[in-house]
Each structure stands twice: as C-alpha cells, then as structure tokens.
C-alpha cells in the first residue's frame, strides 16, 4: 500500500455465511482517528460465504477498507491463518488486530481504545480484554480466564510471558498487537504450531495489557474449526500444543496446562468412551500422565477409576 494504515485487521473465514456479515460490520463501523484496513481470507468455503461477502461489498460505501481474498483451494485453518497474517504484515501497518469470521466486536471504540493503550505504553506489545461466549440457544456467558485479583481494583493489568504460560487464555478476537513483535518464521521449530505459539512469541518482545472491557464475542457453534472437533481430538490437540512448547521451546510454565489437558483427556475416555484399565489406549494415556507429573497417588487414582469404570 502506498500509504500504510496504522492498523490492519486480520480476518479468516470458512463456511460462515450466517455470521460473516455481522463480523465485518462490527469492524467497518469502528470509530477511529487513524486509518485501518481489513484483510479477509476465505479458505475456499463450500457454502455461500464468498457470495454473501461479494454482495455485501458490491455497493458498500466502505468497501475500499477491505481486501477480500478467495482461496482457490482449501488450505486448512492454520495455513490460512498464517497466510492472512503475512498479508497483514505486508500492508506495512504498525498494529494488527484480529477477528475471525464467526466472531464479532461489540464496541465501536474497541480498536481506538486498544491502540491508544499501546501508544501510551511502549513497554507493551499486545492489548487484549475479557470476552463473552455466545451459544446457539442465545445464552451469553462471561469468560474470565485469569485470576480476578490481577486487576487489584484497576481497570487493567499488565502481564508477561510467564503469566501467560501459567494462567492466561487470550481469545483471538480480543487482540491487537505490534506488527514488529510477530515472527512467523518460528513455526519451523514446532510440530503443532497454532495461535497459542503466536501469542507466546509476541510476548518475547514485551508485556501484554489485559483490560476489563467486554468488547468482543466468541461464537460457539458446530462450524467452529476447533469446536467442531470431537472431544477426543480437542483435548488431544490442546495437550499436543502445550507439549510442543515445552519440548521445542523449553517453556516449562505450560506444565500445569499440559497436565490439565491430560486430565481432560482421561476424563473424556472414562465418561464418553467408557474406557477401563483393560483398554490399551486408556493405559497409555494414564502412563503418559504419570511420566509428566511423577505423581504416584494420581496414577493410582486413575488405575482405580479404570478398574471400576
């Protein structure tokens, strides 16, 4: 771009015809005192997502805000994620904000507020906030994945990479970060590279700021790439991500989350698959949990549960 925007908004979509316009409108109606641009990459949707976006943009007065990329073949969630981030970097913008095609922002001042925060805090590379989850039945649930005392009576708190490893979960649609802190070449060192790795390494370069705002919504529905996985695949993927960061980056702080993910895997096998101690897969995962934790009481507990399940 001849005149780089101050901020570029990352968006990806796949089979989100029912949600993509709400997501786009929540971004193009932001009230800001700077220029920004949206990069939307659709991963060769098989529904009407591309048609819906084309019709929306055709005569829209703000259509020039958006670069709409239609992949000719399905790349897969993470390759399209990385592709879109690379396109955002190429705009030359100082900041990148994120919102996937089925999520949406609920405050027209969200982008302005977060970039103001980063401009005022040169030691911070990432701004994020609380969010709500929206379910198919219309239920809206607050999701505070942190300890309440971190706010200490304030509207925000700063956190470092160690904090992120130990207790933070940051949803993508809440994030704005400095483009200079993004290094996608690091994917080469990992087997299960995903958005968790990206957030982790952004914090190689500075602090994060977490605010009390509920300025975005994460939609829970059957077509989410991650949420649509069966429970066994979801719990294993989370485990593999944390194991990847521990093994390939010496990020020992993820051990608590690793063990929590394995407990979820074991519980899933007991409850949903009716596994017991005579099943080889069940024995393999409780043994793996033991090698991670070296906890004999926990190991014996899972043996007992496997016997009486």
Q: Please give the radius of gyration of the chain, using alpha carbons only, rounded to the nearest integer.
A: 21
**Tokens 């005392």 belong to residue:** 149
pLDDT band at 146 (very low <50, low <70, confident <90, very high): low
What is the C-alpha separation between 3 and 34, in angstroms, rounded?
12
Phi (first) and psi of residue 188, to 5 degrees: -65, -20
Identify which has the larger pLDDT, 268 or 72. 72
Mean pLDDT of 247-258: 93
What is the C-alpha separation between 281 and 265, in angstroms, rounded?
11
- Choose the weakest-confidence range: 11-20, 163-172, 238-247: 163-172
Helix, strand, coil fractions of the chain, as percent rounded to 5: 45, 20, 35
pLDDT band at 275 (very low <50, low <70, confident <90, very high): confident
What is the C-alpha separation between 57 and 52, in angstroms, rounded?
9
Say whether pLDDT at 256 is over 70.
Answer: yes
Report pLDDT for 229.
47
Structure tokens at 176: 């704005």
What is the C-alpha separation between 149 and 210, in angstroms, rounded?
13
Report pLDDT for 223.
56
Report pLDDT for 95.
98
**Are the CB atoms for 199 and 164 separated by under 8 Å?**
yes
> 74 in helix, strand or coil?
coil
Structure tokens at 203: 């914090």
Choose from 165-174, 197-206, 218-227 the range with maximum mean pLDDT: 197-206
Say whether pLDDT at 179 is over 90.
Answer: yes
What is the sign, positive or negative, of the torsion defined by CA atoms of 216, 219, 223, 226?
A: positive
Report pLDDT for 268.
84
pLDDT tens profile 77-128: 999 999 999 999 999 999 999 999 999 999 999 999 999 999 999 999 999 9
Say whether pLDDT at 64 is over 90.
Answer: yes
Report pLDDT for 278.
87
């Amino acid at each position: 771009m001849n005149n780089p925007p101050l901020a570029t908004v990352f968006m990806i979509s796949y089979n989100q015809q029912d949600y993509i316009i709400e997501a786009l409108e929540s971004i193009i109606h932001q009230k800001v005192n700077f220029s920004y641009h949206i990069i939307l990459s659709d991963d060769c949707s098989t529904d009407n997502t591309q048609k819906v976006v084309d019709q929306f943009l055709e005569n829209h007065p703000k259509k020039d805000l958006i670069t709409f990329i239609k992949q000719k073949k399905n790349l897969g969630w993470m390759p399209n994620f990385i592709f879109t981030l690379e396109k955002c970097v190429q705009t030359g913008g100082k900041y990148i904000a994120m919102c996937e095609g089925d999520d949406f922002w609920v405050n027209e001042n969200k982008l302005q507020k977060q970039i103001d925060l980063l401009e005022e805090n040169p030691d911070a590379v990432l701004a994020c906030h609380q969010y709500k989850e929206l379910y198919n039945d219309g239920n809206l649930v607050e999701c505070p994945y942190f300890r309440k005392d971190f706010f200490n009576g304030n509207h925000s708190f700063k956190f470092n990479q160690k904090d992120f490893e130990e207790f933070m979960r940051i949803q993508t649609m809440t994030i704005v970060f400095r483009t200079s802190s993004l290094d996608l070449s690091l994917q080469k060192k990992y087997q299960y590279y995903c958005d968790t790795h990206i957030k982790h390494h952004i914090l190689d370069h500075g602090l994060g700021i977490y605010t009390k705002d509920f300025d975005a919504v994460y939609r829970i529905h059957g077509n989410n790439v991650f949420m649509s996985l069966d429970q066994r695949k979801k719990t294993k993927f989370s485990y593999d991500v944390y194991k990847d960061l521990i093994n390939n980056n010496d990020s020992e702080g993820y051990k608590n989350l690793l063990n929590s993910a394995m407990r979820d895997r074991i519980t899933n096998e007991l409850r949903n698959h009716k596994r017991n101690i005579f099943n080889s897969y069940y024995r393999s995962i409780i043994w793996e949990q033991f090698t991670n934790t070296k906890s004999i009481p926990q190991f014996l507990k899972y043996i007992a549960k496997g016997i009486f399940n």
